[in-house]
Structure 1
Amino acid sequence: MHGSTAWFDSGTVTPAAPRPPPKGKLWFVNMSAVFPPVLLFDLAVLPCLGSLNPLIRTLLLCLAVTAMAAWILVPRLQDFFKKWLYSPLQAFHGRHERRTAQG
């Protein structure tokens, strides 16, 4: 390539976005992240909050479990199940890594 063409047309094809894992596999990982904290909260924390309004207790349960699942458990479980969730090539490169074309 010569001139300004090199600036606008790199001549490379950008790779397609990786496909997401099947819904059933995502369901399993999410259930694995949500069930244990719900059970723990139900057995250990809710009995101590028995005098509170059921709406407040449910709100506290949802806030605690959602925060634990979203920020702690799901990322760790997705990393643990990476080879099962994603195709071998995606699992090797990492699910968030982008490949860039270098000229």
Structure 2
Amino acid sequence: MSAETQPDVILGLSFDEGSYLSLRHRSVEDGGYTIEYTFPEDEPRVVATLSDDLDINLAKSLFFTIAEDWARYDDDTDYLVLDEGDDGEDEEED
């Protein structure tokens, strides 16, 4: 699934397990944007609905913020640079 094959997709990001996060234009009647998450072989789920008066650059920034946050919880993710100081291990208490 790519932005080239879906004209309403502004940005798209594929995750290793086959899921897909996309920033899309909403319908002409509604205006604005949606950020949707699609699991493999499932219907898209709306993560956020953004107003039509929101700047496209802010919408893109929100998309990448969500993508980066979700990548933090996926141990197999290698497409985003995560915080280098976090090794993913919990500190033990004495």
Which of the five TM-score ranges fits, normalised by the shorter chain? 0.3 to 0.5
Which protein shows a greater Rg? Answer: 1
Higher relative contact order (CA 8 A, sep 6+): 1
Greater per-residue strand proportion: 2
Greater per-residue helix proportion: 1
**TM-score scaled by length of structure 2:** 0.33
